[in-house]
Structure 1
Amino acid sequence: MKIIVLSSHTQSLFWFRMDMMKSFMEAGHTVIAIGSEPMKEWAFKFQEQGIKYRQIPVQRNGINPLKDIKTMNVIKKIFKEEKPDKVFAYQAKSIIYGSIAAKQSNITEFYPLIAGLGSIFRGTGLKNKLIKIVMENQYRVACHFSKKVFFQNNDDKNEFIKNKLVAESKTTIINGSGVNLDRFQPVEQPKLATFLFIGRLIKDKGIIEYLEACKRIKQQYPQVRCLLLGPFDTNPSALKPEELQPYIDSNIIEYFGEQKDVRPYLVMSSTFVLPSYHEGTPKTILEAMAMERSIITTDAPGCRETVEDGVNGYLVKVGDVHSLVQVMEKTILNRELSLNMGKFSLKLAREKYDVNLVNQSIIKTMQL
């Protein structure tokens, strides 16, 4: 069969979905990847993996209906040319406009992945409320046109069911995107307590809480290292470079920008910290777990599934810098605790989040 994997973010396709696409090919199918980045930059990279790549125009954070209609029409054009048997889509605009394009192209097997509900679903304010109403209706249509809908946590699934966006019979849960245990392997923790945050520098990821917690920690324990990886973003809640610079200048944060390979930085760390407000299932946490790191994250949708509190890490309340500092301090003062938590992280990664197990679940649901 011919399968299209559709996303509005090409880098995510290449780095986070390659294992899944390869599993489709190993099952004997042809895969076409569709993303937003230029053909000249990405076509050859995908071709090297045996995958055809095609580009669509997407304004990821925009709300211009004319540009969204253009996105949908280009997707529909590609569907008509490629004639896929099945489509797997993730990220809001890919799901919404891909589902309509699939319906208009007589594609009956459309499988969206709801990989976390963004700030629109959790936020407040009149503008946010109006956009949420529009998005709920769009998701309702998308789910209606879908054969099955994947979710990465029960919170998001139940939110969709409660608001009558999807029939429960259409839903299925997968354990995140999974982690490649051959690529991410356990490595001894450094002797010096070192914290690491990886993610887009947007407020919903808990970047402000991480920076403030690191500031307090460094005042008490100046030898401790606090590392930061991730790009600045176009999201309305994005951190600005001038907001981060004072933390760099005062040696609170060691900032490494965006990195294609995060493994060297996980090697440098002892504890991975992600104080996010909401996630699907954070792939960065799974990668840290596979490399035997203790985890500090929030008791929030998508995050809480990755941590058994006090076993492989700690769960803290969203937005609570004081609690974050307290548990960071515990891992500084008790290095043996952090080491043991890392071992439990690895065990959980192997038993629950192995990418091969996740991909087999997807293949089974899509009847591949």
Structure 2
Amino acid sequence: MKLVEQHSLSARGAVQEAPRMHILILASYAPSLLNFRGPLIRDMLAAKHRVSVGAPDISTELRRQLVELGAEVHDTPMERNGTGMLADLRYCKGLRRLIGSVRPDVVLTYTIKPNIWGAFAAHSVGVASVAMVTGLGYAFTDTGVAPSPTQRVTGLIARRLYRAATSRNRRVLFQNPDDKADFIRAGCLADPSKVGMINGSGVDTEHYARQPLPSDPVVLMIARLLGNKGVRDYAEAALRLRKSHPQARFQLVGPFDGGPDAIAEGEVAAWTAQGLEYLGAAEDVRPHIAQARIYVLPSYREGTPRSVLEAMAMGRPVVTTNAPGCRETVEDGVNGRLVPVRDPSALTEAIAYLLDHPAEAEAMGEAGFQLVARKYDVRQVNRAIMELMGLPPAPPHTATFMP
């Protein structure tokens, strides 16, 4: 992936001039710095800001791409799925050293561990921080199963740490009103005046360009293989529909996960033996979306589901759940269908309806494309993020990401 420069000020030009402000962006998953924050980094650099990024396990290729984009890259070792306090304290200590060394004007964090420990580390060296709550995660999601004692204790600790961390943040940004309300209700934010609302992470409508709806009845889901993404519900619906709609194909794209809610490889093997097509993880999901006629995400909770926005930008009708984050992206009957959470029967019916009514599916794809252009275009979202951070915005430009 490379940046095509179509504006007057290049990333290198921005670095050569005196930067307005220095921003350090901290992530828990290194590829997200490019896949989710690449356009934001681009727009910050276009506005003549200096941008540093930090994440664990940054590959050589990803480092090269981030440097080519114009960012300064730092490793921040972290145990992503661990709950051990000693490991988290080591992570915080490392962040404190980094922030003290590079001396940014503001630290921008997202996902729970950078949000919590990044706030503590920045505050300890006198640097302002802004947290983006891109989803409340497993501890806040109703999975339909009573939490174990360990999960209850972990959730309690997370809420208390979040409350302490947000007391040190300058701003706390949310992607949907349900997350904001539940976060405050759980006691994670004592000062609601710090809240800022954004329309997800946005989607680059040039990179995820609109494609004609194919005639072949291909149904697609893209997600990490977690129970709370609704993967099991999708598999059950797909295997039912294989019998009633034998001409249809049902595809699943996404990596296995090591978290407590992970789907086992054996489960996926059993589904594929019955006709579900598991295509593995994908660095570029556009070819998969392009050949799909219907996009499905039966998640139990999201911040704003990026894959849904990508599918809508490419003109696909969407079936998703009436859950926080998901319901923000679909108006039932207009650009897709909303179904109850953990309801494979309703999911089956909604997918079957779109398979059986291709003209309506096409109209819904058009409506979704229009919604993304109006509300979720990444350039609009980036301007909102920068304004909430107190940064001067980027000038108008047409830079885009190309494979």
TM-score, reference length from structure 2 = 0.89
Residue 123 of structure 2 aligns with which residue? Answer: 103
State whether residues 220 and 289 of structure 2, in contact with CA within 8 Å, keep that contact through their aligned partners in structure 1.
yes
Residue 213 of structure 1 aligns with which residue? Answer: 237
Q: In the alignment, which of 259, 268, 291 is matched to residue 244 of structure 1? A: 268
Q: Which has the higher contact order (CA 8 A, sep 6+)?
A: 2
Distance 1:236 1:161 in 2: 25
* One-letter code aligned to 1:114: V
Distance 1:31 1:21 in 2: 7
State whether residues 19 and 355 of structure 1, in contact with CA within 8 Å, keep that contact through their aligned partners in structure 2.
yes
State whether residues 175 and 358 of structure 1, in contact with CA within 8 Å, keep that contact through their aligned partners in structure 2.
yes
Q: Deviations over 1:176-233 (max 9, x none)?
A: 0000011111111111221110010000100000000000000111110111110000
Residue 285 of structure 1 aligns with which residue? Answer: 308
State whether residues 27 and 111 of structure 2, in contact with CA within 8 Å, keep that contact through their aligned partners in structure 1.
yes
Residue 203 of structure 1 aligns with which residue? Answer: 227
Distance 2:288 2:59 in 1: 30
Report matched runs for 1:24-173 at 5 Å: 24-38=44-58, 40-107=60-127, 109-123=128-142, 124-125=146-147, 126-166=149-189, 167-173=191-197
State whether residues 268 and 278 of structure 2, in contact with CA within 8 Å, keep that contact through their aligned partners in structure 1.
no
Residue 350 of structure 1 aligns with which residue? Answer: 373
Residue 401 of structure 2 aligns with which residue? Answer: none
* One-letter code aligned to 1:161: I
Q: In the alignment, which of 366, 374, 384 is matched to residue 361 of structure 1? A: 384
Report matched runs for 1:265-304 at 5 Å: 265-304=288-327
Q: CA deviation at 1:242?
A: 1.2
Residue 12 of structure 1 aligns with which residue? Answer: 32
State whether residues 315 and 369 of structure 2, in contact with CA within 8 Å, keep that contact through their aligned partners in structure 1.
yes
Secondary structure at the residue paired with 1:305?
coil
Report matched runs for 1:223-234 at 5 Å: 223-234=247-258
State whether residues 193 and 331 of structure 1, in contact with CA within 8 Å, keep that contact through their aligned partners in structure 2.
no
Secondary structure at the residue paired with 1:129?
helix
* One-letter code aligned to 2:107: V
1:24–1:81 CA distance, 2 compared to 1 (3 A)? same
Distance 1:339 1:308 in 2: 15
State whether residues 153 and 305 of structure 1, in contact with CA within 8 Å, keep that contact through their aligned partners in structure 2.
yes
Distance 1:67 1:247 in 2: 37
Q: In the alignment, which of 301, 324, 333 is matched to residue 356 of structure 2? A: 333
Distance 1:30 1:223 in 2: 53
- Which structure has the highest helix share of the two? 1
Distance 1:40 1:336 in 2: 46
Secondary structure at the residue paired with 2:107?
strand
Secondary structure at the residue paired with 2:221?
strand
Identity among equivalent positions (%) equals: 36
Q: Deviations over 1:243-263 (max 9, x none)?
A: 10122123x222211111100
Report matched runs for 1:251-270 at 5 Å: 252-270=275-293
1:361–1:262 CA distance, 2 compared to 1 (3 A)? same
Q: CA deviation at 1:10?
A: 0.4
* One-letter code aligned to 2:33: L
Q: Which runs of 5+ in 2 are unaligned?
A: 1-20, 392-403
Distance 2:28 2:74 in 1: 12
Q: CA deviation at 1:39?
A: 5.5
Farther-moved stretch of structure 1 (120-129 vs 154-163): 120-129
Secondary structure at the residue paired with 1:192?
coil
State whether residues 227 and 254 of structure 1, in contact with CA within 8 Å, keep that contact through their aligned partners in structure 2.
yes
1:163–1:248 CA distance, 2 compared to 1 (3 A)? closer
* One-letter code aligned to 2:68: E
* One-letter code aligned to 1:337: E
Secondary structure at the residue paired with 1:296?
strand
Aligned residues: 366
Farther-moved stretch of structure 1 (124-133 vs 73-82): 124-133
State whether residues 211 and 247 of structure 1, in contact with CA within 8 Å, keep that contact through their aligned partners in structure 2.
yes
TM-score, reference length from structure 1 = 0.98
Secondary structure at the residue paired with 1:149?
strand
* One-letter code aligned to 1:277: Y
Secondary structure at the residue paired with 1:363?
helix
Q: CA deviation at 1:50?
A: 1.0
Residue 222 of structure 1 aligns with which residue? Answer: 246
